A = this chain, B = another copy of it.
Amino acid sequence: MPTPFVRKLEYGAGLSDQDRQVLEHAVRDVRQFKPRHDLILEDDSPENVHVILEGFACRYKRLPDGTRQIMAYLVPGDCCDLHVSILSRIDHTIGTLTACKVALLPHAVIEDLTGQSRTITRALWWSTLSDQGTQREWLINMSRRPADKRLAHLLCELLVRLQAVGLATDNSFVLPLTQRQLAETLAMTGVHLNRIVRQLREEGLITLKGHSITIPDVERLSQFSDFNPNYLHLTQRRDAARQKDR
Taking Cβ atoms with an 8 Å cutoff, the residues of A that contact B are: 12, 43, 59, 61, 63-64, 69, 71-72, 83-84, 86-89, 91-92, 122, 125-126, 128-129, 132-133, 135-140, 142-144, 187, 226, 230-231, 233, 236-237, 240
- Asked if A86 contacts B129 (CB within 8 A), the reply is yes
Complex: how many Å from CA A126 to CA B83? 9
Chain B minimum-CB-distance residue to A131: B132
| Copies held by the complex | 2
* Closest 3 A/B residue pairs (Cβ): A143-B187, A142-B143, A88-B236
On whether the beta carbons of A139 and B129 are closer than 8 Å, the reply is no
- From B83, B86, B136, A59 is in contact (CB under 8 Å) with B136
14 A-B interface contacts by CB (under 8 A)? A12-B86, A43-B230, A63-B144, A63-B226, A71-B140, A84-B129, A87-B233, A88-B237, A89-B236, A91-B133, A91-B136, A91-B137, A91-B230, A135-B139
